[in-house]
Structure 1
Amino acid sequence: MSWLGPWLEQTARARSEAGLRRALRPREAADPLVDLASNDYLGLARDPRVVEAGADALRTWGAGSTGSRLVTGSTRLHAQLEDELAAFTGTAAALVFSSGYTANLGAVAALSGRGALVVSDVAAHASLVDAARLSRARVEVARCSDPDAVDRVLAARDEARALVLIDGVDSVDGRIAPLAALHAVCRARDAVLVVDDAHGLGVRGPGGRGTVAEAGLAGAPDLVQTATLSKSLGSQGGVVLAGRAVVEHLVDAARPFIFDTGLAPAAVGAALAALGVVRDEPERVAALHTAAAAVAASARAAAPRLEVPAPTAAMVPVVLGDPDVAVAAAAACAEYGLRAGCFRPPSVRPGTSRLRLTARADLGADELALVDQVLHKVLGTLVALR
């Protein structure tokens, strides 16, 4: 008898007992719930201009890119998107990947390797963690939000090459990384700073240009910025933004770029249109922050005993502690018409399971009123039971 069945059963049982089983819940195209769980921060995934641009690219180029970027998978649309992303963020060059995850894997592994040091933030996104593991470099985990801690690690190294990995905006609590101070440490210690700006592009910085631009570091030669096209741009895919020599190196050496099929033309066309909207309508960024502040105020009023920080990005974390309580809270929100994100370990530390409410720029007054009503019902009941 194979070990597989008993092992899977035992593993599933352990997860159930810890409140950590997960399940897919397919939604309908016409979802009746008010959405505070998605990453569609600027409300562009269904914007008619974005949808039509994706459909036009589909009709023009076909359903797939037909190959890797180095064979047949690079279209003129890909090149145009890379040029416009670089111009928008103030970077010399850009390289589009099939996802933000593969962009991080490709950039970190190709720029490090044996004989290098990778300093990974203790709260880094899973894609950065996996990139560090796959890099074959020596990996040190540090609190990279503390530049002094990073300085100590870099000062003690023997390796000539070093990368420091951090999220520009923390994906769970919205904390903004101290990029200017961190970059100063990296420059003094001859290290390269890699910033995953998945939750910063379209959210932070002048006109939504991201945390790197906000820190005054756009175009810095010793900084690499990655981002996803699936959040503020409402499409799919990932990008590395860096100096031209870095991008040329990734074309030669980044395995997730070389061996992966290119991003589908429809996603490229949609991302291009979305980028144009962000560029032409910077008021969407302001609207997002206004909506996030309203959601946080509702959560704070509904459960004054819980700490709900003032949001600095799109996400509003409501820490409930126990994973079963967080799951129950998300389910109760859905019953009342609100889709809320639910984060449990390993996405967050044990004991910090939470609702992660994500605001959108297109939330209207009626939707925000419903959010307020539902949070008062659900959070008020949960806090009373605690």
Structure 2
Amino acid sequence: MPTDTKNGLDRRSFLKASTVASSTAAFGAFAVAANQAVAATKEVAAGAAEAEVSLTEAEIAALPRVKQELVAPPFAPKHDQVAKGGPKVVEVTMTIKELRWEVDDHGAETWALTFEGSVPGPLIVCHEGDYVELTLINPEYNRMEHNIDFHSSTGALGGAGLTHVLPGEQVKLRWKAVKSGVFVYHCAPEGQMIPYHVVHGMNGAVMVLPREGLKDKDGNLLSYDDVFYVGEQDFYIPKDENGDWKVYDGPGDNFADVMPVMRTLTPTHVVFNGKVGALTGDHALKSAVGRTALFIHAQSNRDSRPHLIGGHGDYVWETGSFADDPATGLETWFIRGGSAGAALYTFRQPGVYVYLNHNLIEAVELGAASHVIVDGEWDDDLMKQVSKPGPIPS
């Protein structure tokens, strides 16, 4: 491992010291407590039984293994809605990419910290009782330390305590899907770097399906034709003294400037899938009358209020838990910051639907909106323009 000639620190110690130095004393106390908790977790992990059936290493090694090919949002990897056979090990590989990132068409940009080069990171799909085995790669050319916290997992800070990787390192983590639902994952290094990484795009979602598939409150099977995966992202882009967006040479260079902007709790942009207009125009979502879409909405940092203009939430798992009965017929639902939710809707009319955050200021002014273009035949029974606009009769 290379050695820094100035101070004699090896590369790992040097980068680690740089990361810790950027954190406040208050967050440092949190990090110490977290590391102590991780150590205790490691000691008792062998005897812990978090699921109804606890398998030995030999039994897990004998399970079928499936390599999941991740795809870029807003799409989902291929998967069965109802599980076939018993539990399996779902193998996933994610490479961390630090990228120059355009946030809008008016000069706002940042250095995004990403899983697999997308904002949000790709959707991972498995079934309850499956094991997810992640290989997390931090290439040599990156600048920063990273890790991953799965809200869908159990123990060691969601895996964050066991997945710290410096540039040039990789790590493998296995976790068992003991709860069904949709969940957030995000990078959570230490201290101030936790929110810093999250608001620079380093978050995504996991969907853990019940083995028997989605059900309504009466136990009837619910299915979908399309998955639309929306990651809502808040950005905090600094401006210079002239009011122009500031541009930086590399990841992390904006740290001193962006922290005061973050502390205002007022984002400069709130966008779907990384950029203003990322899911509109040529990139709009596509469907058709009679098709059922599963909208997965994740927000790792702030509350959101998804709404489908022209449609509804036929079935909504607002808190993300598929173990609970879905709400029905909602106009708008609520996604708590740090969570994901899901909604099913069957399109009944053709046209352009707007799926947005119904904080309309954030949708219209800051960018939290998308379009769904739906093909099909119009149904006058559902809606009809009885008369066209014209002069008011005198």
TM-score clears 0.5? no
Please state which structure has a larger fraction of its residues in helix: 1
TM-score range (shorter-chain normalised) is under 0.3
Higher Cα radius of gyration: 2
Bigger proportion of residues as strand? 2
**What TM-score do you get using the length of structure 2 for normalisation?**
0.26
What is the TM-score normalised by the length of structure 1? 0.26
